[in-house]
Structure 1
Amino acid sequence: MKPLAPETLWTRTARQPAQFDTTLPQSVDIAIIGGGFTGLTAARELLIAGRSATVLEAGVIGSGASGMNAGFVVPNFAKTDPNAVRSKLGTDKGNALLRLVGDGANSVFRTIEEEGIACDAKQVGWLNPAYGAAGADMLKARAALWRALGRPVSFLDADAVQEQTGMNIYTGALLDAEGGTIHPLDYLRGLAQSVRRRGGTVHEGQCVDEVVREGSGWRLTMRSGATLFAGKVLQCTNAFTTGIASRMGRSTVPLRVYQIATTPADNETVQRIARSGRPVGDTRQNLFTYRLDRNNRLISGGMAAVPFGAFDRLGKAVAQRLSEELHLPNAVAPEIVWTGVAAMTPDFLPRLYQMGEGWFGGIGCNGRGIAMTAQLGRVLARAALGDDINSLPIPLRTLRPLPFHRFSPWVASAALVQARLKDVMAR
């Protein structure tokens, strides 16, 4: 039975058709486990390089984080800055990762242009407002560090932020001119179409349960009973813990995020809160985000400190927060609510793993899914093409599942409560 895709704003409004293959090849140069942004980007890169590739998705294309996010394209880190990256990795490796991450949004929008993907792409910048004086000082310093790397990142004062958002609670903002928004499901389906046009195959409902060394390559066995041989394997399964994905998925902290899309805002409100059409995400511990879709629905999200009954409760709470924070003349209501899981690494940096000769995995977008996954897919493709894995810009780590992984959602809930208290103190 074909798995069903969860209903989201993106499934309701997608314009790209869902297309995939039904017949598995007997063998390929590279098998890619996971049909999200990372896996499909890697497949595209490998096909361009002349390799044969197939993508194996356990569910439906778009049923994971790649189809559940809010469509923000942000080319930086959520929880760290350039100096912290260099401190953790050293100057040379740190700068290599910074250059990779800094080009993340451009790489997404280049691919969209090259492949002619219609996905509501808008590279209008990303606004990161500061909450409190300390937040403004931090963002001013962070903007200078990114500028020193040649990136178009600036700092706006409080008046400029109010002009952009209509909000008077902020003390300044970092503006990254290369950020933007997309319709993530249309982008994902466009990537899948690109892979198929270039001679690759994309398969849904193919959960890989076993990868076993066979001769010079690997034998993959699906839950369906089908098998295929691959010279190399790329694992792009993010936070999933089903089948072969289990060990890598348990190396991160899974954060369940609830997203909503509201009824459309009126034109006067749109001009007041999003004059430039820029997506917004502030510096609060319990961060506040918003963007508009093509019909002026407000899209925002949040996490639940108490998971029980969170789906209905969070939808109403996020809509109420939008109405209050943005001083909307008419309270908005959630038109649709959906949920997905983000994978957070302990040091908030992406990482590569090697599970065997020619078997590589990558994970750790840490809240920067679209831009970071594009780069993660490209780096994994380079590993499969034979680049020295230790020379790649994402660090190679030893794969160790986190102890007590099953309890990590409760740890995240406790951290959210603490974050909200910090925001109250900052106010």
Structure 2
Amino acid sequence: MNNDPLTHGLWELTAPPPPKTDTLSDDLHADVVVVGAGYTGLSAALKIGTAGRSCIVLEAEEIGFGGSGRNVGLVNAGLWLQPAEVRKVLGQPYGNRILSLLDQAPSVVYDLIAKYGISCEASRPGTLHCGVGAAGDRQLRERERQWQALGADVVLLDRNETAALTGSRRYSSALLDRRAGTIQPLAYARGLADAALGAGAQIFTRSAVISTTRLTDGSWRLSTPNGSVTARWVIVATNAYTVFPWSNLRTELVPLPYFNIATTPLPPAIRRSVLPHGHGIWDTKEVLTSARMDQAGRLIIGSVGALRYGGAPIHEAWAKRSMHRLFPQTRDIPFESAWWGTIGMTADHVPRFHHLADQVVTMCGYNGRGIGPGTVFGIALAELALGTRDLSQMPLACQPVHRITGRKVRETVYELGSVASHLVTDRV
């Protein structure tokens, strides 16, 4: 996108083409206007369209331009935090409510894929959270205990069981989450857009919102360079890629850079020995490593870091070393593509729900769990706008926007810290 291969990399090379869209060039009316064509905005538009109400989506760039088209494609349940910590941070009823909703989020994603025939390399063997050392084993054992107490289909594997599913002897344990799986993330976003259009929604790309006006009848007019949309409800679905006129949302999110690098398709013999059952994995290290296969047999290695400035060659060299450490049989396999984006991190690692103004709502801060939460949160926001869900039934309590102190410092620490880490790790 935008003639930059480092934004969407492999996903743009292999996704089905996007549906045809135009730039807004008229003054239109709708029941709901959605800003942002990622998972949250598109699932909201699909829900509104299937309810028989009119919806217009305004996207500043292209469908899936933000995190929805750049992430690694792991469809996980829950949040990064363990269940007990989620309850502690959110209190009740929201702690249990969000745990229950996100427990089912992967099923919602895969059900939508099946219902609308979305071609996105959907696979659901589960994911593996892999333990590194004794501390990693303890963390995973506690995660297993807490999730099993909630009835989740998770099980802790020993070293040999982990090696059988990963194809690597480097991990001491792994938490297998059978609720989860993988998708081609940009293809999923484009498929949601197709489904939303089929349900009657309209999507306009290259149509950035440049101003908002509250009208005397209580509706909102959102203006773009060449047109406008007037609607009673506004759903802001831009998360870490939010810009004017809701740029204050960025003040409560620290952008965490994350990159992925993909090999060429592995030869069949090697492919059978690397993640042989198609599980996506990530580990318990602070600067984590993730890995997965795509449908064509490319191995995708990812970690924290930005592929810009002097960081790009350092991260790429680390990815090669990390791949060889985990899977020595891939030593002669070249890389084919690389890309990166930013994750919206909140201070307490839980998402946010905001009423930005009367009948202007958003959910943001997915903390690296965008696919499942983005999908179900979009549906929840749509139901609020449709009147089939009220504020007391939302997954999260409505909060004011809280500025993170030292946000720029944290952003710099994330980016430079990942460079420092990748300079020295996996050299032996």
* TM-score scaled by length of structure 1: 0.92
Aligned to 1:376: 377
CA contact (8 A) 2:167 2:276 kept: no
Q: Please show how residues 271-420 of structure 1 align to structure 2 within 5 Å.
A: 271-304=272-305, 308-386=309-387, 387-413=389-415, 416=418
Greater CA drift, 348-357 or 140-149: 140-149
2:129 matched residue in structure 1 = 128
CA contact (8 A) 1:319 1:332 kept: no
* Correspondence 1:77 to 2:79: yes
Structure 1 unmatched runs, 5+: none
Residue of structure 2 equivalent to 1:53? 55
Distance 1:17 1:405, change over 3 A: same
Contact 1:360 1:380 in 2 (8 A): yes
C-alpha deviation, 1:113, in angstroms: 0.6
- The residue that corresponds to 1:220 in the other structure is 222
Counterpart amino acid of 1:44?
Answer: L
Give the deviation of 1:22 after TM superposition.
4.4
What is the alpha-carbon root mean square deviation over aligned residues? 2.4
CA distance in 2, matches of 1:293, 1:93: 36
1:21 deviates by: 3.9
Which of 254-263 and 377-386 deviates more?
377-386
Q: Deviations over 1:118-153 (max 9, x none)?
A: 111001100111111222122122122212222211
- Alignment partner, residue 29 of structure 2: 27
| Residue identity matched to 1:220 | L
**2:66 aligns to what?**
64
- Give the TM-score, by structure 2 length: 0.92
* 8 Å contact kept, 1:250–1:401: yes
Q: Secondary structure at the match of 2:332?
A: coil
Rounded Cα–Cα distance in structure 1 between residues aligned with 2:300 and 2:314: 16
- The 1:31/1:143 distance shift into structure 2, 3 A limit, reads same
Letter in 2 for 1:92: P
Distance 1:211 1:340, change over 3 A: same
Q: Does 1:252 pair with 2:253?
A: yes
Q: Secondary structure at the match of 2:354?
A: strand
User: Which letter maps to 1:336?
Assistant: S
Aligned length: 422
Contact 1:273 1:326 (8 Å CA) reproduced: yes
List aligned pairs for 1:180-259, cutoff 5 A.
180-214=181-215, 215-222=217-224, 224-259=225-260
Counterpart contact for 2:307–2:340, Cα < 8 Å: no
The answer to whether the Cα contact below 8 Å between 1:286 and 1:423 also exists between their aligned partners in 2 is: no
Identity of aligned residues (%): 32
SS in 1 for 2:292: strand
Distance between the aligned counterparts of 1:286 and 1:169, measured in 2?
16
Is 2:90 aligned against 1:89? yes
Q: One-letter code of the match for 1:32?
A: V
Structure 1 CA distance for aligned equivalents of residues 330 and 319 of structure 2: 16
CA contact 1:239–1:250 (8 Å) conserved in 2: no
Is contact 1:21-1:201 (8 Å) kept?
no
The amino acid of 1:10's aligned partner reads W
> Structure 2 counterpart of 1:172, which letter?
S
- Describe the SS at the equivalent of 2:102: helix
| 3-state secondary structure, aligned to 1:11 | helix
**8 A contact 1:258–1:311 mirrored in 2:** no
CA drift at 1:26: 1.2
**How far 1:372 sits from its partner (Å)?**
1.7
Report SS of the residue matched to 1:264: coil
Q: Equivalents in 2 of 1:4, 1:357: separation in Å?
A: 38
Task: Give the counterpart letter for 1:199 in structure 2.
Answer: G
Counterpart amino acid of 1:57? E
Q: Which moved more, 1:411-420 or 1:96-105?
A: 411-420
Question: What letter corresponds to residue 264 of structure 1 in structure 2?
Answer: P
Give CA-to-partner distance per residue, 1:235-285, whole Å, 9 cap, x none.
011112422241112320001212111122222322222121111111111
The CA distance in 2 between the partners of 1:25 and 1:114, in whole Å, is 33
Cα distance between partner residues in 2 of 1:141 and 1:313: 34
